[in-house]
Amino acid sequence: MGLVHDLRARVNMARTYFWNKVLDARNLIYNVGLAVGHARINALLQDYSLLPTINAFAGKLGPFKFDFHPMLVVDHLHEWSLGVWKATFTHIIRVLYATIPGEVAVATLNARFRQIPSFGRGTVRRFCSNAAEMKKLAGHNYDNLLVNIIPCIEGLLPEPFNSRLLTTLFRLSEWNALAKLRMHTEATLNYLDKTTTVIGRELRSFAATTQAEYKTVELPGETTSRARRSARKKANAVASDPSAPPPPPPPPPVAKGKFLNLLTYKFHALGDYVQSIRLFGTADSFSTQTGELAHRFVKRLYGRTNKNSAMKQMTRLERRDTRLRRAAQSAAAPHVRVRVFSDNDATLYVGLDAHHQISKSRKEPIHILKFVQRFIPKLKAHLLSRLLGRDFDGDEMEFSQAERDTVNIVQSKIYSVPTMRVNFTTYDMRRDQDTISPRTHPNVMVLSPETTPNCHPFWYARVLGIFHLEVIHSGPKSRNGGTQHMEFLWVRWYGTEPGYRSGFKAARLPKIGFVPDSDDYAFGLLDPSLVLRGCHIVPAFASGRTDTLLSLSPGQVTSARHKDEIDDWANFYVIM
């Protein structure tokens, strides 16, 4: 899959070759009179897992009248998420069991997954307590595993296999992102074509390496399932023949050897993605995920019943929800209560044309004298720089005491709010929104003002507080003598890891870490209008934790860490 001869064979109607084999087999059965299991028929069909049957499409159309195969589009959900990637992830778990005796490595993997924060509106959800067991997982759960597996698997396997596996996982994530794009150009399709070749090579290498170097066996769940199937088969045989003696009790199941099998249709189908997208458009246009998501609504309705006559209760609940939804959408429904938002509402609605929204609530006032003394000059310098229209360059402007005195904070109070919403335009020209919260989703990204060669295009920060205030700017440089409402973010800056190569060529995620507090710019103030959007930042678990980035006195409390934290992760990965 993905090699030149394979892609050429697909173009040269490889399926016609199989069609001819089926026709030859049917001729031997119906005209010559050979049995279906005859050796000549097996020689034609067995090597390719073919059957001497013709479906309705083939019978009516046939490959010579109309080739119906291209209209059978790819199915990303079942062929990739629940197919190739699920099989690959399962085999990675087998390798972990084979590498380290017991379940130490698998337990570590599960513990790392549990520490990954959620992100976005259902984009990345919290992982279950035992992700490696893969119980009751849907397609989006496997996508989340792929997106976040690199930080979790790093360091659990010996070198050089660890580095090769990280490269393979990056390429798989890259292919998955390209295949799911909702807007394609000729350049992205050509890149997807090249990436298909790459993941074919990477997966074949991964399968061959693990088979040669590791004695992988079935997972405990696979062994138990096989034993259950065997017991059920024997029970059915006894039930069909009452005169047969009862079978002896089965011995304890023993795990059999298991390798990654790439000789499957789902793996072969990955080579059809570019052709399907060229013919029919982006993969979301013909995805089975839309229909599969309807299961969630049915399950939600079932959970609201008392399980007695559940079908009848679910029907009533569905009708009730439909009537309420229609009433809410109808402008001619005077009995429907419409919520009226106020400026003091922390969940104030913001239109998609605005860059961001921060509530003007004054429920949490803070006197500026409660902050450390060096915070006040930094705050006034930040506000003055914005009042004068200076461009952001990453460093706070240096102003004299007299210049800072021209900035007067009304009542010497600033007001804290819990969240900020940021609107942004996605790559496919849609509008989306991120909610930034210092407690749950604190990480943001801004454009880097650096212009040096090979510099990273973005800066990253953890939001420690979201504030607004009223300010009066006086003096000869004042542009507005009245009271002005201003907003700012209190952030802790991340810095890129020195000497670390990341990106698509290196097949590595960007690695960052907190700027040490010995740097004057480890903490800073940020204009909310500079925030591009939230970002998904995951700890680099293999790098461990350290307390050298932020030195505190015994008993000292800081907003830079959660209440139960005494140190920081040494590094983080930015999920691309």
Q: Does the pLDDT of residue 59 top 50, yes or no?
A: yes
Confidence of residue 334 (pLDDT cuts 50, 70, 90): low
What pTM, to 2 d.p., does this model score? 0.86
Q: Structure tokens of 264?
A: 């499957």
Interatomic CA distance for residues 84 and 91, integer angstroms: 11
The pLDDT value recorded for residue 341 is 42
Q: Structure tokens of 108?
A: 């570590």
Q: Structure tokens of 35?
A: 């049995």
How does DSSP assign 301-348, residue by residue? HHHTS-SSSHHHHHHHHHHHHHHHHHHHH-TT-TTSPPP---TT-TT-
pLDDT tens digit sequence for 127-147: 999 999 998 898 989 999 999
pLDDT tens digit sequence for 284-302: 998 888 888 888 888 889 9
Q: Does the pLDDT of residue 180 top 50, yes or no?
A: yes
Confidence of residue 186 (pLDDT cuts 50, 70, 90): very high
pLDDT tens digit sequence for 476-518: 888 777 899 999 999 999 999 999 999 999 999 999 999 999 9
Q: Structure tokens of 63?
A: 């490959």
Interatomic CA distance for residues 570 and 572, integer angstroms: 7
For the CA atoms of the chain, what is the radius of gyration? 30
Average pLDDT in the chain: 89
On the CB side of 186, how many CA atoms lie within 13 Å of its CA?
A: 0
The pLDDT value recorded for residue 548 is 92
Consecutive H or E run containing 113: helix 104-114
- Are 386 and 532 spatial neighbours (Cβ–Cβ below 8 Å)? no
The pLDDT value recorded for residue 453 is 85
Per-residue H/E/C for 75-104: CHHHHHHHHHHHHHHHHHHHHHHHHCCCCH
On the CB side of 322, how many CA atoms lie within 13 Å of its CA?
A: 6
The pLDDT value recorded for residue 185 is 95
The pLDDT value recorded for residue 292 is 83
Q: Does the pLDDT of residue 5 top 90, yes or no?
A: no
Cα 470 to Cα 332, 360, 484, distances in angstroms: 42, 10, 6
Residues 6+ apart with CB under 8 A from 503: 510
Which of 40-54, 63-77, 409-423 is the least confident region? 63-77
The pLDDT value recorded for residue 12 is 58
Consecutive H or E run containing 265: helix 265-268
Greatest mean pLDDT range, 10-24, 164-178, 396-410 = 164-178
pLDDT tens digit sequence for 340-380: 444 444 445 567 789 999 999 999 999 988 887 788 889 99
- Max CA distance (Å), the chain: 107
Interatomic CA distance for residues 138 and 133, integer angstroms: 13
Instruction: Please report, rounded to a whole number, the percentage of residues in the chain having pLDDT higher than 70.
Output: 94
Q: Does the pLDDT of residue 107 top 80, yes or no?
A: yes
